[in-house]
């Protein structure tokens, strides 16, 4: 019940209402009797019409009429006139019901049913639709019905596009028309239909939407359409390889469990107990089909035929931006090996939107395998002591940030021009919240398309200022702007090797392992991970992070500090289940257990989202605790942590600690205490 | 209950394209997809349907603004979004949702003046969207993008302080549905005293946990 004013009813009104109800109930019970007894006389059918005129929502009455029609049709010979008159009557009943309530699901569906029998002309239907759309241009029943009629009668997309032209020109505030327009245009652009080339069409659409936006800036329709146009401008259909680890032209140093003294100051050193190192491919959009036939590896490293590639994504997904395989090496066989990777060796890598990875792309790196010297002492990792400034001059900066991007074949010109033109347009709107947000989005888009390093990074200050202004201007979306600010900030930090190097330190406690320190930066969101695939030690403490969404790509990560953030549950750490190297995790002083509502409950693979799970001993012996701490159970049991800090959370305590020790039996340090065997 | 389920012939109502019809007359709507998936999940017999096809159909109803409609090509609507996001959540398929794009569309439902949420742009705020929009935002972890305190105030403003109950908007007639949606919304906003509910099922968390964690 919507839209009925609240008022106390007087006795007369109540009596009238009661009388109406009696009448309706009597009509309904008569109708139900006819329906149950399958009575389809003229009188009975007339009764159902009376019911529907009072209450078009009487769903069963519509179904009864369908049965009655089928019964009538089965009796008459296929005399077209008789058939027409029966179906015409149904259309009339629908129209009169719609006049009562033009949003009646039952009425519209009944009309579709009649039309599916091949009845009524397209002109009649379009006329009817015109009537209703004039009454309410946002009536989605009418729009859905229109799409149904269009499909049934094969009306062209171009004609329907002209209809949206009319609707929009009549009234800019017509989200339904803009929506329909975007659906039709998408289809026409995808077909490369005549007159629908993106480089010509999209700029025209920008002009059209400007009329809407500048006529009524408070109306949302134009702004959402503009956002879609920006997506069309920015997004290149063909999937591209954004980055990889190891990166092209780099040399990585590999050793066994014990790391070489001193050499870890090179961020390219990787130590592994398992004798394998990850090969990470990061695409600009989710793709499927990465396998040992579509990605070939040419190297003298033995034992690497028929590698298995995994998408780093949710359990049910076969597509991802990030794909990983593991290459074996033997540390007792020290040598330098050249490794050549050919991505797209054969067709098969396809984006989730259905576009193929085009030309094969090759990159080469060198794997320098070292002898394992000795088992190093694995002491506790401290996040406060033992850090030295990383000497930027000692390493070749360029190899830190790789900007591998196949741009040659992409037509960037019209895209850059469109964005430049939009930036100019919106540069003048200073007090409009949505205008400023659109400008910030445009500037971010422009940065993303720049390939010239010298120019990149320059406009980030402007973007950050816009988001700061927006946080003050529009407090109801404060957290949204905060998140966008964090994304822009991280883009800025990773825009050049120089800015990134300011956040790099060496950690003496792990043989001078390079640590990326992004603490105390008010970060509420993680971004730019494609530029940070080399990171093995990461300090994100004292920020405002709510989840580790994005970190799953950091396949080399072994130490992570998330203390003093805003993490509310272990389910928010689900992405870490993909980070198999993770040994040290600090989630102390967060909000775990503080809130009753878990906002990452369904973003964590578990029985709640109908994921298969295998019972283990912990599950069998402690079903109550597994249900109580389900997210900690599922996340921690997938990790092989040596060191964990959980103090300072609402969930902390003896019960939780002892549960953790059962789930992670190989844990060595808990909350700074060494565990006995 | 399980015995009677077999008579219902659920998979007979699943169409070739993965969609579900409400009954033999064939009306298709993503609301039905949600109802089937939600019920079968609670009854622990999701295997009675082709889940992959059901998910594919829901994904085909995804729009360019990140939202979902009742059928492919239909305009995004908060109620349909709840159904689609809920069904994807229950079946572990939220990776199909563009959380940032949809999150922005959803958080723009909040009315600056009243704090209430509407179901589509340029429509009036309504308490029932406190459930549809709010649950959807929670399921995709973007609820921090709305101003929660203002929404609490809107729901409380919709109470009939004399006779009890909650209405669709302030000073309108109360009804049982909006009372339910209002209370559920308050629970999702962590209003003191409200039992915690699961955003996908709108059932208490201790109930869904008990059902789904029992092997």
Question: A408 pLDDT exceeds 60?
Answer: no
Residues of chain B in contact with residue A600, where contact means CB-CB under 8 angstroms, are 141
**What topology does CATH give the domain A497-674?**
3.80.10
Contact predicate A164/A133, CB 8 Å: no
Contact predicate A410/A238, CB 8 Å: yes
A255: part of which helix (H) or strand (E)? Answer: strand A251-255
**3-state secondary structure string across A465-487:** HHHHHHHHHCHHHHHHHHHHHHH
- The DSSP line for A90-126 is HHHHHHHHHHH-TT-HHHHHHHHHHHTTT-S-HHHHH
Question: A260 pLDDT exceeds 60?
Answer: no
**β-bridge mates for residue A295, sequence order:** A343
Residue A454: band (very low, low, confident or very high) from pLDDT cuts 50, 70, 90:
low
- The CATH homologous superfamily for domain A20-196 is Protein prenylyltransferase (1.25.40.120)
- At A217 the pLDDT is 85
Going by C-alpha positions, the residue among A189, A335, A367 that lies closest to residue A269 is A367
d(CA A136, nearest CA chain B) in Å? 12
Mutation target for B interface from A597, A624, A633: give the one with most B CBs within 10 A. A597
| B147 reaches A (C-beta below 8 A) | yes
B197: three-class secondary structure by DSSP: strand
Which tokens in the block code for residue B13? 């109502």
Q: Measured between alpha carbons, how far apart are the two ends of chain B, in Å?
A: 18
Query: Would strands A669-670 and A643-645 be described as parallel, antiparallel, or unpaired?
Result: parallel
Q: What is the rounded CA–CA span in Å between residue A405 and residue A242? A: 6
d(CA A417, nearest CA chain B) in Å? 23
- Provide the percentage of residues in chain A whose pLDDT is more than 90: 63
| B168 reaches A (C-beta below 8 A) | yes
- Name the residue in chain A with its Cα closest to that of B166: A6
**3-state secondary structure string across A489-544:** HHHHHCCCHHHHHCCEEEEHHHCCEEEEECCCCCCCCCCCHHHCCCCCEEECCCCC
Interface contact flag, A140 B75, Cβ < 8 Å: yes
Residue A262: band (very low, low, confident or very high) from pLDDT cuts 50, 70, 90:
very low
A279: three-class secondary structure by DSSP: strand
Q: Which residue has 């009661």 as its token pair?
A: A18
pLDDT one-digit tens code per residue, B73-92: 999 999 999 999 999 999 99
- At A82 the pLDDT is 87
Question: A375 pLDDT exceeds 70?
Answer: no
| A152 reaches B (C-beta below 8 A) | no
Return contacts of B6-12, CB within 8 angstroms, 24+ apart.
Answer: B10/B36, B10/B40, B10/B48, B10/B49, B11/B48, B11/B49, B11/B50
Q: What is the mean pLDDT of chain A?
A: 89
Which tokens in the block code for residue B34? 């949600």
d(CA B139, nearest CA chain A) in Å? 6
Contact predicate A266/A536, CB 8 Å: no
Helices A198-215 and A175-190 cross at an angle (nearest 10°) of: 170
B14: three-class secondary structure by DSSP: strand
Contact predicate A134/A147, CB 8 Å: no
Question: B196 pLDDT exceeds 90?
Answer: yes
Contact predicate B31/B71, CB 8 Å: no
Q: What is the rounded CA–CA span in Å between residue B41 and residue B19? A: 17
Residues of chain A in contact with residue B92, where contact means CB-CB under 8 angstroms, are 314-316, 602, 605, 609-611
Which tokens in the block code for residue B209? 């946990």
Q: CA angle, B155 as apex, B151 and B160 as ends, to 5°? A: 160
If you count them, how many residues does chain A have?
Answer: 677
Which tokens in the block code for residue A130? 């015109």
- The conformation of residue B75, written as its DSSP 8-state character, comes to P
- Give the highest mean pLDDT range of A124-138, A324-338, B158-172: B158-172
Question: For chain A, what is the largest distance between any 2 Cα atoms, rounded to a whole number of angstroms?
Answer: 98
CATH architecture of A241-376: Sandwich (2.60)
Residues of chain B in contact with residue A607, where contact means CB-CB under 8 angstroms, are 212-213
Per-domain boundaries in chain A: 20-196, 241-376, 407-450+454-490, 497-674
Residues of chain B in contact with residue A231, where contact means CB-CB under 8 angstroms, are 64
pLDDT one-digit tens code per residue, A34-92: 999 999 999 999 999 999 988 999 999 999 999 999 999 888 877 888 888 899 999 99
- At A329 the pLDDT is 86
What interface predicted TM-score (ipTM) does this complex get?
A: 0.95
| B139 reaches A (C-beta below 8 A) | yes
pLDDT one-digit tens code per residue, A473-511: 999 999 999 999 999 999 999 988 888 989 999 888 887
d(CA B138, nearest CA chain A) in Å? 5
Give the least confident one: A177-186, A295-304, B35-44.
A295-304
- At A119 the pLDDT is 75
Q: What is the rounded CA–CA span in Å between residue B208 and residue A494? A: 43
| B153 reaches A (C-beta below 8 A) | no
Question: B99 pLDDT exceeds 80?
Answer: yes
**Mean pLDDT across B5-22:** 78
A4: three-class secondary structure by DSSP: coil
Going by C-alpha positions, the residue among B143, B153, B144 that lies closest to residue B113 is B153
Q: What is the rounded CA–CA span in Å between residue A415 and residue A407? A: 13
Residue A301: band (very low, low, confident or very high) from pLDDT cuts 50, 70, 90:
confident
Counting one residue from chain A and one from chain B, the pairs whose CB atoms sit within 8 A come to 170
A168: three-class secondary structure by DSSP: helix
A320: three-class secondary structure by DSSP: strand
Mutation target for A interface from B55, B61, B75: give the one with most A CBs within 10 A. B75
- At B8 the pLDDT is 58
- Name which residue leads in pLDDT, A599 or A304: A599
A343: part of which helix (H) or strand (E)? Answer: strand A335-343
Q: What is the rounded CA–CA span in Å between residue B129 and residue B118? A: 6
- At A204 the pLDDT is 95
Interface contact flag, B89 A477, Cβ < 8 Å: no
Question: A374 pLDDT exceeds 70?
Answer: no
Cis check for the bond before A281: say yes or no (omega within 30 of 0): no
Q: What is the rounded CA–CA span in Å between residue A129 and residue A135? A: 10
- At A261 the pLDDT is 46
d(CA A109, nearest CA chain B) in Å? 7
- At B104 the pLDDT is 98
- At B4 the pLDDT is 55
- Name the residue in chain A with its Cα closest to that of B123: A138
Q: Which residue has 């009538």 as its token pair?
A: A72
Beta strand residue intervals within chain B, DSSP E: none
pLDDT one-digit tens code per residue, A108-154: 999 999 998 877 788 889 998 988 888 899 999 999 999 999 998 89
């Amino acid at each position: 019940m919507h839209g009925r004013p609240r008022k106390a009813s007087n006795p007369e009104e109540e009596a009238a209402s009661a009388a109406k109800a009696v009448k309706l109930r009597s009509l309904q019970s008569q109708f139900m009797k006819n329906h149950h007894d399958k009575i389809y006389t003229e009188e009975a059918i007339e009764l159902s019409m009376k019911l529907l005129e009072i209450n078009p929502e009487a769903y069963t009455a519509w179904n009864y009429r369908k049965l009655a029609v089928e019964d009538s049709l089965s009796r008459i010979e296929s005399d077209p006139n008789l058939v027409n008159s029966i179906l015409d009557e149904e259309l009339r009943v629908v129209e009169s019901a719609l006049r009562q309530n033009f949003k009646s699901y039952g009425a519209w569906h009944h009309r579709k049913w009649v039309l599916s029998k091949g009845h009524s002309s397209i002109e009649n239907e379009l006329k009817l639709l015109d009537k209703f759309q004039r009454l309410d241009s946002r009536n989605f029943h009418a729009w859905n019905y229109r799409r149904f009629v269009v499909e049934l009668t094969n009306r062209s997309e171009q004609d329907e596009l002209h209809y949206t032209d009319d609707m929009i020109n009549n009234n800019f505030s017509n989200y339904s028309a803009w929506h329909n327009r975007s659906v039709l245009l998408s289809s026409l652009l995808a077909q490369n239909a005549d007159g629908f080339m993106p480089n010509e069409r999209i700029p025209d659409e920008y002009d059209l939407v400007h009329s809407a936006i500048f006529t009524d800036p408070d109306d949302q329709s134009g702004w959402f359409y503009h956002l879609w146009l920006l997506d069309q401008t920015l997004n290149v259909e063909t999937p591209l390889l954004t980055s990889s680890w190891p990166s092209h032209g780099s040399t990585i140093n590999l050793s066994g469990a014990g790391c070489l003294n001193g050499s870890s100051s090179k961020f390219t050193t990787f130590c592994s107990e398992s004798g394998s190192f990850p090969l990470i491919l990061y695409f600009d959009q989710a793709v499927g089909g990465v396998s040992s036939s579509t990605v070939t590896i040419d190297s003298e490293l033995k034992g690497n035929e028929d590698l298995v590639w995994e998408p780093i994504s949710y359990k049910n997904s076969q597509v991802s931006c990030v794909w990983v395989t593991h290459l074996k090496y033997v540390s007792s066989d020290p040598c330098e090996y050249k490794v050549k990777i050919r991505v797209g060796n054969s067709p098969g890598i396809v984006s989730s939107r259905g576009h193929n990875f085009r030309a094969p792309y090759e990159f080469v790196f060198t794997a320098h395998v070292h002898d394992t010297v000795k088992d190093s002492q694995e002491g506790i990792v401290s996040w406060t002591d033992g850090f030295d400034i990383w000497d930027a001059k000692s390493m070749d900066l360029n190899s830190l940030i790789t900007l591998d991007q196949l741009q040659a074949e992409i037509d960037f010109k019209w895209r850059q021009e469109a964005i430049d033109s939009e930036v100019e347009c919106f540069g003048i709107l200073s007090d409009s919240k949505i205008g400023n947000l659109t400008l910030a989005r445009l500037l971010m888009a422009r940065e993303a398309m720049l390939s010239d390093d010298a120019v990149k990074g320059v406009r980030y200050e402007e973007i950050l200022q816009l988001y700061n202004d927006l946080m003050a201007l529009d407090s109801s979306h404060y957290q949204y702007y905060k998140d966008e600010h964090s994304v822009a900030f991280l883009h800025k930090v990773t825009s050049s090797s120089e800015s990134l190097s300011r956040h790099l330190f060496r950690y003496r406690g792990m043989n001078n392992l390079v640590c990326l320190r992004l603490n105390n930066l008010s970060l509420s969101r993680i971004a730019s991970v494609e530029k940070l695939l080399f990171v093995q030690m990461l300090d994100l403490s004292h920020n405002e992070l709510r989840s580790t969404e994005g970190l799953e790509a950091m396949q080399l990560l072994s130490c992570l500090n998330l203390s003093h953030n805003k993490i509310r549950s272990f389910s928010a750490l689900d992405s870490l289940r993909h980070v198999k190297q993770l040994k040290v995790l600090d989630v102390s002083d967060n909000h775990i257990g503080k809130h009753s509502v878990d906002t990452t409950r369904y973003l964590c693979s578990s029985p709640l989202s109908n994921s298969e799970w295998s019972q283990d001993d912990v599950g069998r012996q402690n079903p109550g605790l597994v249900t109580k701490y389900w997210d900690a159970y599922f996340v921690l049991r997938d990790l092989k942590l040596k060191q964990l800090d959980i103090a300072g959370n609402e969930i902390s305590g003896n019960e939780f600690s002892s549960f953790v020790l059962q789930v992670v039996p190989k844990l060595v340090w808990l909350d700074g205490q060494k565990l006995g065997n | 209950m399980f015995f009677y389920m077999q008579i219902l012939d659920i998979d007979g109502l699943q169409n070739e394209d993965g969609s579900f019809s409400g009954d033999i007359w064939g009306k298709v709507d993503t609301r039905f997809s949600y109802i089937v998936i939600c019920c079968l999940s609670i009854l622990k017999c999701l295997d009675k349907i082709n889940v992959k096809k059901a998910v594919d159909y829901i994904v085909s109803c995804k729009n360019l603004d990140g939202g979902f409609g009742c059928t492919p090509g239909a305009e995004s609507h908060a109620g349909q979004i709840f159904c689609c996001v809920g069904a994807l959540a229950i079946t572990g398929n939220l990776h199909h949702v563009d959380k940032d794009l949809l999150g922005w569309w959803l958080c723009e439902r909040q009315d600056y003046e009243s704090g209430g949420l509407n179901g589509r742009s340029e429509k009036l705020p309504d308490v029932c969207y406190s459930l549809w929009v709010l649950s959807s935002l929670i399921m995709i972890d973007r609820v921090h993008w709305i101003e929660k305190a203002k929404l609490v105030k809107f729901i409380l403003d919709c109470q009939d302080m004399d006779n009890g109950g909650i209405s669709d908007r302030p000073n309108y007639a109360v009804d049982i549905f909006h009372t339910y949606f209002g209370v559920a919304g308050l629970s999702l906003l962590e209003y003191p005293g409200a039992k915690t509910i699961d955003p996908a099922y709108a059932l208490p968390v201790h109930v869904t946990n008990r059902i789904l964690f029992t092997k």
